[in-house]
Amino acid sequence: MCLAIPALIKSIEGKEAEVEIGGIGRRASLWLTPEAKVGDYVLLHTGYAINIVDQEEAEETLRLLEEMAKLAEEEESEIH
Amino acid sequence: MEFCGGHTVTILKHGIRQLLPPTIEMLSGPGCPVCVTDNADLDKAIALAQIPGVILTTFGDMLKVPGSRSSLQKVKADGADVRIVYSTMDALQIARGNPDKRVVFLGIGFETTAPTIAASVLQAEQEGISNYYALSLHKLCPPVIKALLDSGEVRLDGLICPGHVSAIIGSRPWEFIARDYSIPCVVSGFEPLDVLQCVDMLVAQIENGRSEVEIAYRRGVRPEGNRQALEIMDRVFETCPAQWRGMGLVAHSGLRFKAEFERFDAEIAFEINPGPVVEPKGCICGDILRGVNTPQDCQLFAKVCTPESPVGPCMVSSEGSCAAYYLYGAAGE
């Protein structure tokens, strides 16, 4: 139930935003993240942006995860 | 233990249990709001839906969960006005469009979801929507982990803390577990590699004799959480004891309306008579939620109890342990 997915804010009107998730647009409430700006990624949970995704941390995590995947591949090819 | 049902799904769906060495055993925790909702509370929701003039709005997961005598799905089939919504924003819209009806939102969820219900109440107040109510069955995660650890029934070497609960509350409310129980804690995201990274960090803590709270899910979680969401939750709700399936009554683990928002409280606005509570015979969801048993220990699992015909809530919710074991092939392990 605590599912939340990253969504990109396209426009903001009052406390509501138009967001994009994988190319699909929908409305999101910014009641819980009033500081969110157009261009931010937010974590969307039941129609509410519950947090702003930290872009730098997201990129750092992506780099770490890619590194882990690469290590796993190398280990795999060592086994075979 | 992974507290969150979302992590259990990631672990089973991607075969992470099979990838890990046998020395690492993953244990599902009580982190599924649908599963931990007590039968007495389910019965209240079902009784509410049957009151004439009420539109009961709910997240879809709750529809098939069996209460003592019925389910929301069954009473809906019998004519009750039960509507599935994606968000409390939809429930507010239904309230705006049906001024002659009383619209109740079934407030199930942890700290991730509770602020969204609190926000909807504030919005209803701001707009003067007078036919909107919520049944607050929200539950708080850190108190139940404390209760679980204090019971001494399970011994944990590490805890995978829920990512989206922590997006709201931050990582600090988990610190007592590392400090007082010497159990390493890592807040994880929900991608399979997130979980593996989290396990790696937990193992590193154990090997180095550390017990701290670390955040692997830094893109979504800050140590202080989301202050605005916490403030909104705190404005509308206050903590209260709550009944958990499997755990019983846990102090400070529930949320009820503060006095100034009482008029939104469905428990006060309606006379609810759900009748005596009956527990499903043979179902061990409670033991599974405490991590004492796994779904395979249940005699009903995959025989009498299936996602199509669930006996207990852990088979209903998509993130319930039984449903995840059933769907992702751990049934034959």
Q: Can you give the pLDDT of all 333 residues of chain B as single tens digits? A: 999 999 999 999 999 998 999 999 999 999 999 999 999 999 999 999 999 999 999 999 999 999 999 999 999 999 999 999 999 999 999 999 999 999 999 999 999 999 999 999 999 999 999 999 999 999 999 999 999 999 999 999 999 999 999 999 999 999 999 999 999 999 999 999 899 999 999 999 999 999 999 999 999 999 999 999 999 999 999 999 999 999 999 999 999 999 999 999 999 999 998 999 999 899 999 999 998 999 999 999 999 999 988 999 999 988 899 999 999 876 444
B193 lies within 8 A of chain A by CB = yes
Could you tell me if residue B318 is left (phi over 0), alpha (psi between -120 and 50 degrees) or otherwise beta? alpha
Q: What pairs with residue B104 in β-bridges?
A: B56, B133
Q: Which helix (H) or strand (E) holds B260?
A: none
Q: Are residues B156 and B207 in the same domain?
A: yes
Instruction: Determine the pLDDT at residue A72.
Output: 74
Q: Are residues B168 and B307 in the same domain?
A: no
Pairing state of beta strands B159-161 and B185-187? parallel
**Quick one: angle between helices A55-79 and B192-207, nearest 10?**
80
How far apart, in Å, are the Cα atoms of A67 and each of A72, B158, B192?
9, 24, 14
B170 in a domain, yes or no?
yes
Q: Are residues B62 and B102 in the same domain?
A: yes
Q: Are residues B66 and B170 in the same domain?
A: no
Q: Which CATH class is domain A5-79?
A: mainly beta
Q: Do B33 and A1 touch (CB under 8 A)?
A: yes
Q: Are residues B22 and B162 in the same domain?
A: yes
What CA–CA distance (Å, rounded) separates B48 from B80?
A: 10
Q: Do A1 and B5 touch (CB under 8 A)?
A: yes
Q: Are residues B59 and B20 in the same domain?
A: no
B51 in a domain, yes or no?
yes
B220 in a domain, yes or no?
no
Q: Are residues B194 and B253 in the same domain?
A: no
pTM check: above 0.90: yes
Could you tell me if residue A54 is left (phi over 0), alpha (psi between -120 and 50 degrees) or otherwise beta? beta
Q: Residue B88: give its domain's CATH number.
A: 3.40.50.11740
What CA–CA distance (Å, rounded) separates B286 from B314?
A: 9
Could you tell me if residue B228 is left (phi over 0), alpha (psi between -120 and 50 degrees) or otherwise beta? alpha
B248 in a domain, yes or no?
yes
- Is the pLDDT confidence value at A77 over 80? no
| DSSP single-letter state for residue B55 | E
B249 lies within 8 A of chain A by CB = no
Helix, strand, or coil here: B178? helix
Backbone phi, then psi, for B189, in 5-degree steps? -85, -170
B286 in a domain, yes or no?
yes
Instruction: Determine the pLDDT at residue A79.
Output: 66
What CA–CA distance (Å, rounded) separates B260 from B59?
A: 26
What CA–CA distance (Å, rounded) separates B270 from B272?
A: 6
DSSP string for residues in B57-103: EE-GGGTT---SS--HHHHHHTT-EEEE-SSHHHHHHHHHH-TTSEE
| DSSP single-letter state for residue B268 | H
Q: Are residues B298 and B185 in the same domain?
A: no
ipTM score for this prediction: 0.91
Query: Are B165 and B110 spatial neighbours (Cβ–Cβ below 8 Å)?
Result: yes
| Min Cα separation B321/chain A (Å) | 13
Q: Are residues B119 and B198 in the same domain?
A: no
Instruction: Determine the pLDDT at residue B331.
Output: 45
Q: Which domain holds residue B298?
A: 279-332
Q: What pairs with residue A52 in β-bridges?
A: A42
Return the structure tokens found at B121. Answer: 């109440």
Q: Do A4 and B220 touch (CB under 8 A)?
A: yes
What CA–CA distance (Å, rounded) separates B5 from A3?
A: 10
A33 lies within 8 A of chain B by CB = yes
Q: Do A50 and B226 touch (CB under 8 A)?
A: yes
Buried b / exposed e across A6-44, counting CB within 10 Å, b at 16+? bbbbeebeeeebbbeeeeeeeebbbbbbeebeeebbbbb
Q: Which helix (H) or strand (E) holds B329?
A: none
B289 in a domain, yes or no?
yes
| Min Cα separation A46/chain B (Å) | 5
Instruction: Determine the pLDDT at residue A80.
Output: 64
Number of domains into which chain B is organized: 3
Query: Are B33 and B39 spatial neighbours (Cβ–Cβ below 8 Å)?
Result: no
B221 in a domain, yes or no?
no
Question: Within 10 Å of residue B323's Cβ, how many Cβ atoms?
Answer: 27
Q: Do B88 and A47 touch (CB under 8 A)?
A: yes
Residues from chain A that touch B229, judged by Cβ atoms under 8 A, are: 32-33, 50
Q: Do A31 and B122 touch (CB under 8 A)?
A: yes
What CA–CA distance (Å, rounded) separates B27 from B94?
A: 40
Residue of B nearest to A49 (CA): B116
Q: Do B167 and A43 touch (CB under 8 A)?
A: yes
Residues from chain B that touch A58, judged by Cβ atoms under 8 A, are: 219
What CA–CA distance (Å, rounded) separates B152 from A1?
A: 27
B195 lies within 8 A of chain A by CB = no
Query: Are B270 and B106 spatial neighbours (Cβ–Cβ below 8 Å)?
Result: no
| Min Cα separation A25/chain B (Å) | 15
Pairing state of beta strands A24-29 and A16-21? antiparallel
Q: Are residues B134 and B161 in the same domain?
A: no
Residues 120-179 of B with CB under 8 A from A: 122-123, 162-165, 167-168
B274 in a domain, yes or no?
no
